Amino acid sequence: MKTEPQVQLSLKSVSKAFADYEGRHTVVEDFSLEVLNQEFLSIFGPNGCGKSTLVHLIAGIIEPDAGSIEFASGQAGRTVGIVFQNYEKSLLPWRTCVDNISLPLEANGDLSKRQRREAAVSLLAELGLRLPLTHYPYQMSGGQKQLTCIARAIIHRPSILLLDEPFASLDYQTRIDMQEKLQAIWAKAKITTIFVSHEIDEAIFLADRLLLLTVRPARVAESFDIPLSRPRGFQSLASSPFVDLRAKILQLFRSEISQ
Amino acid sequence: MKYVSLVGPIVLLAIWGTLSGFGIVSPLILPTPTAVGRALYSLLISKRLLWPDIGLTFYRTIASFILASMIGIPVGLFMGFLPLFYRMFEFLVDFFRSIPPIALFPLFLLALGFGESSKIGVPLYGCIVIIIINSAYGVKNAPALRRTVARVYGFSRWRVFWKIVLPDSLPHVFVGMRTALSLALVLTVVVEMFFGSESGLGKKIYDYHLLFDTPEMYAAIIVTGIIGYLLSKGFIVVERFFLHWANK
């Protein structure tokens, strides 16, 4: 059964500039984007093009200078889950894994500690994740820490999940493992996801759609639908649609950065 | 290798024993280790003369340290958390930090009289400044990312403070407290020595010195050292319990 895709998030003519000692830099200019419900959108672009600024704008960490960011659920329903590259500085080192995951449920103090822990345990069961619940971050591996961050980002059932280069600090082996785990989590949680990456293979591998951004100020250079069927296995990285698409994106990317 | 840490003390005792035992240094300045041992035994075990002083010095050190923590930690945390508050009081804290606490003792005597409060006042003052500075520093230097995360999840400003900023600043708060604890003992002993105290280890060290009871003076110094050592070891145990997660 196929339902009509709904727009979950729309950015309309969003602009953002920052000032520093060199003057004012426009990082995002007249940026428009629609993200569909339950879509997995990868954002790929040159270094410093404003990918992270976009994530911060959508998360509400910073406000746009112009334009609007609208959620289907309305402003009141603007709930966001966010995962940063730096899991060390993002997790609370004084809390165990389970108490890190349940952090967003503490925002208004409605739930008891026990209820929050139960929610975390049932979320992990739902996602099929195994994490050392009573361990502190310093007792966990990099992959486990980033999975903790991902679980934390969806425990409050946000309307959108933002992943800002989440695997950039992980070693290659862990990274590949995490890509498959993230795919499974996304499939089970059915959550609209924006994934920022500077690694082309994982950006394609995970996405329904990939946006290639221009150099700063960021605009959409091109939007690619990823035609690979799901669930995607490791072998899909070698399939001809993947390889063709990758070549096409990289060619555009190269012409973009050489401008 | 288990007993390797005993080498240092044994070497020290050997040098001390040689210098005093062969009369190289006058016993008025350096009595033999056995004389000091006898004095220790007499003061602590047979005559038990030193215990009231130990109790008082310990009480003054701990009381000033705890009071300083109770005042200094909240003030420091707020200063770090509220930049405006910090800018308003930064100069004052820096200025008062530059005044040696002992210089204020006559003022404390005038204001608080000869009782316990003026004796606790000096170490209290010295400790508060250190604790305020370190607590404020802890807040200002905590990674901003955790606060950002909590804000994204809808935490109010004060909930961010309690749940994120406070625990994040604890490692620095403890650095300040550890420094303050050693300083509290130092200042307590100095005040006891020179400012009309009736008792306390500082007073006893000074009295033995005036009476040329050098072995007893050494004994009291050693006891003071042991108190300082035990305080800092005890503090490390507390710190490990609360901050097992820090610096890993």
Contact B239/A at CB under 8 A: no
Residue A178 has pLDDT above 70, yes or no: yes
Residue B123 has pLDDT above 90, yes or no: yes
Q: Please give the ipTM for the structure prediction.
A: 0.86
Check residue A47 and give its pLDDT: 81
In a domain, residue B14? The reply is no
State the amino acid at position A203 in one-letter form. Answer: A
| A91 contacts on B by Cβ (under 8 Å) | 146
Average pLDDT in chain A: 90
Check residue A3 and give its pLDDT: 54
Residue A2 has pLDDT above 50, yes or no: no
Rounded to the nearest 10 degrees, how much is the dihedral formed by the CA atoms of B225, B229, B235, B239? 140
Least CA distance to A136: which residue of chain B?
B245
> Looking at residue B115, which CATH number applies to its domain?
1.10.3720.10
Which of these, A104, A142, A216, A140, lies nearest to B150 by C-alpha position?
Answer: A104
Least CA distance to A138: which residue of chain B?
B248
Q: How many residues does chain B have?
A: 248
- CB-based contact A61 B153, cutoff 8 Å: no
- CB-based contact B248 A86, cutoff 8 Å: no
Beta carbons of B60 and B120 less than 8 angstroms apart: yes
Q: What is the pLDDT of residues A34-86, one digit of tens each?
A: 999 999 999 998 887 888 899 999 999 999 999 999 988 776 667 899 999 99
Range of the domain at B168: 49-242
Check residue A211 and give its pLDDT: 93
Residue A5 has pLDDT above 70, yes or no: no
The span from the CA of B161 to the CA of B130, in Å, is: 22
Distances (CA, A) of A18 to A28, A50, A54, B145: 10, 11, 13, 19
Q: How far is B93 from chain A (nearest CA, A)?
A: 30
Contact B146/A at CB under 8 A: yes
In a domain, residue B167? The reply is yes
Q: How many domains does chain B have?
A: 1
pTM above 0.90, yes or no: no
Check residue B183 and give its pLDDT: 96
| B149 contacts on A by Cβ (under 8 Å) | 82, 84, 90, 103
Chosen for mutation from B163, B245, B247 (greatest number of chain A CBs closer than 10 Å) is: B245
In a domain, residue B21? The reply is no
Q: What is the pLDDT of residues B94-113, one digit of tens each?
A: 899 899 988 888 888 888 87
In a domain, residue B248? The reply is no
Helix (H, G, I), strand (E, B) or coil at A82: strand
Q: State the average pLDDT over residues B212-239.
A: 96
Average pLDDT in chain B: 92
In a domain, residue B160? The reply is yes
CA torsion sign for A194, A197, A200, A205 is negative
Check residue B171 and give its pLDDT: 95
- CB-based contact A84 B146, cutoff 8 Å: no
